Amino acid sequence: MHLTLRQLQVFESVARHLSFTRAAEELHLSQPAVSMQIKQLEAQAGLSLLEQYGKKNALTEAGREFYQYSKSILQQVDELDGILQELKGLRRGCLDVAVATTANDFATRLLAAFAREHEALNYRLEVSNRETLLARLEANEMDLVIMGRPPADKPLVSEPFMENPLVVIAPPEHALANERQIALDKLVREPFVVREKVSGTRIAMERFFHQHGFELASQMELTSNESIKHAVQAGLGLGVVSRHTLRLELETGRLAILDVEGFPIVRHWYLVHRQGKRLSAVAQAFREFVLNRGAAFAPLPRV
C-alpha cells in the first residue's frame, strides 16, 4: 500500500465523525474531495472501509482496524512534530562532545555553564588524546571536538576561540624556579618529560626549539598530561604543558612555571567538526556559546 498522511487524516476524521460533511468542514475541504480521498484509500486497501445504512455511515470490520492504526500513526506524527519543535527551541536533545585531555579542566566547566542554561538537554563528554579525537572526527562520531589546531590536510572545520599558552614547568624547589629570563641554551641542558609524538603539545614544543636551533634531551615519553605533571613533580625532568591545565598545581604550590625566553608558546584552542556536517540545533547552540562566550568560562590560572 502507498498511503499519504493526507489520506489518513481524511479517513480518521470521517471515521471519527461518521460523516463526510463534518470531516470536510473540519479539514476545510469540499465534500467531493473527501469522498474521492476515501475511494482512493479503499482502492489501495482492496476493501470497503465504510458502509451506509440509510443516511448513516458505519465502519466495516476493515474500517475499524484501519481507524485504530490511522489514529496511532497520526499520533506518532504529532509527537514527532512536537519533538522537532522542542529541538528547534533547545528543549530536548543530546550533545556529543569530545575534548583533548589537556582541555579537560576548562572544557568541563564550559560545558557545565552551557548545561545550566539548557537543563532539559542530555550530554555525552569524551576525554581523549589527539589521535583518538581525529579518529572520532573522521568517523563522524562526535558533534563537536575541543582540541589544539587539527592537521590542515583533514576535511575539518576548525574555529579558534581562545588562546592556549604553553609554559615550561618544574618542581618549586628546582634550581631554575627563581631565575628570570632563562636562556634557551641553558634550559635545554635539563632533561624533559614529553608527550607522545602525535600530541599537539609535543609537536608545538619541538617546532619551537627546532626554530631556535635546539633539540631537547627527552628523559621520558608519557601519554597523558596528568602523567607529565606527576613526573615533573617527582623530579624526573621539566615539562611543557598548557597553562590551562595547572589550576590545582599552582594553587597548591606543587609546580612552578619557569620564566623562559620566548615562552609562553601561544597556540589556540579550536572548536572542530567534520566538514560538511549538518549540526543539530543543540550542537549549533553550543558552537555559538563556545565561540562567543567560551573564554569567559576558562580564565587562565594565576601564578
How much is the average pLDDT of 118-133? 88
Euclidean distance between CA atoms 102 and 277, whole angstroms: 25
Cβ–Cβ contacts within 10 Å for residue 137, how many?
25
Cβ-based neighbour number of residue 171 at 10 Å: 16
Domain ranges in the chain?
Answer: 5-88, 94-162+268-297, 164-266
Res 211: pLDDT: 94
- pLDDT of residue 88 exceeding 80: no
Instruction: pLDDT band for 21, please (50, 70, 90 cuts).
Output: very high
Q: How far is CA 6 from the centre of its chain?
A: 37
With cut-offs at 50, 70 and 90, classify the pLDDT of residue 290. very high
pLDDT of 224: 87
Residue 10 near residue 37 (C-beta atoms within 8 A): yes
Homologous superfamily assigned to 164-266: Periplasmic binding protein-like II (3.40.190.10)
Among residues 244, 248, 202, which one has the least CA distance to residue 223? 202
Cα–Cα distance, 257 to 243 (Å, whole number): 9
Give tens-digit pLDDT for 191-247. Answer: 999 998 888 899 999 999 999 999 887 678 998 889 999 999 999 999 999 999 999
Grid cell digits, residue 83: 519533538
113-127, 172-186, 253-267, range with the lowest pLDDT? 113-127
Q: How confident is the model at residue 85 (pLDDT cuts 50, 70, 90)?
A: low
Buried b / exposed e across 271-293, counting CB within 10 Å, b at 16+? bbbbeebeebbbbebbbebbeee
Helix (H) or strand (E) holding 146: strand 144-147
Distance, in Å, from the CA atom of 191 to the CA atom of 200, rounded to the nearest integer, reads 20
Q: How far apart are CA 47 and CA 281, in angstroms?
A: 44
Helix-helix angle 61-88:31-45, to 10 degrees? 110
Confidence of residue 34 (pLDDT cuts 50, 70, 90): very high
Q: What is the mean pLDDT of residues 279-294?
A: 91
Torsion sign across C-alpha atoms 266, 272, 275, 276: negative
- Describe the chain by its helix, strand, coil percentages, rounded to 5: 45, 25, 30
Position 118 scores a pLDDT of 85
Q: Residue 28's pLDDT band (boundaries 50, 70, 90)? A: very high
Q: How many Å apart are CA 36 and CA 42, to the nearest integer? A: 10
**pLDDT for residue 86:** 63
Report residue 192: phi and psi, to 5°. Answer: -125, 145
Residue 36 has pLDDT above 90, yes or no: yes
Q: Helices 281-293 & 104-117, crossing angle to 10 degrees?
A: 120
Q: Assign a CATH topology to domain 5-88.
A: Arc Repressor Mutant, subunit A (1.10.10)
Percentage of residues of the chain with pLDDT beyond 90: 68
Average pLDDT of span 179-183: 95
Q: What is the pTM of this model?
A: 0.70
| CA 21/CA 16 separation, integer angstroms | 12
What is the C-alpha end-to-end distance of the chain, expressed in Å? 72
Element (H, E) at 120: none
Close Cβ partners of 246 (under 8 Å, ≥ 6 residues apart): 167, 169, 229, 255, 257, 301
* Spatial CB neighbours of 282, under 8 Å, sequence gap ≥ 6: 87, 90, 93, 94, 95, 118, 121, 143
Q: What percent of the chain has pLDDT over 70?
A: 96
pLDDT band of 303, cuts 50, 70, 90: low
19: number of Cβ within 10 Å:
17
Write down the pLDDT at residue 127.
93
5-88 matches 94-162+268-297 in fold: no
Overall fold of domain 94-162+268-297: D-Maltodextrin-Binding Protein; domain 2 (3.40.190)
User: Over 70: is that where the pLDDT of 82 sits?
Assistant: no
- How much is the mean pLDDT over the chain? 90
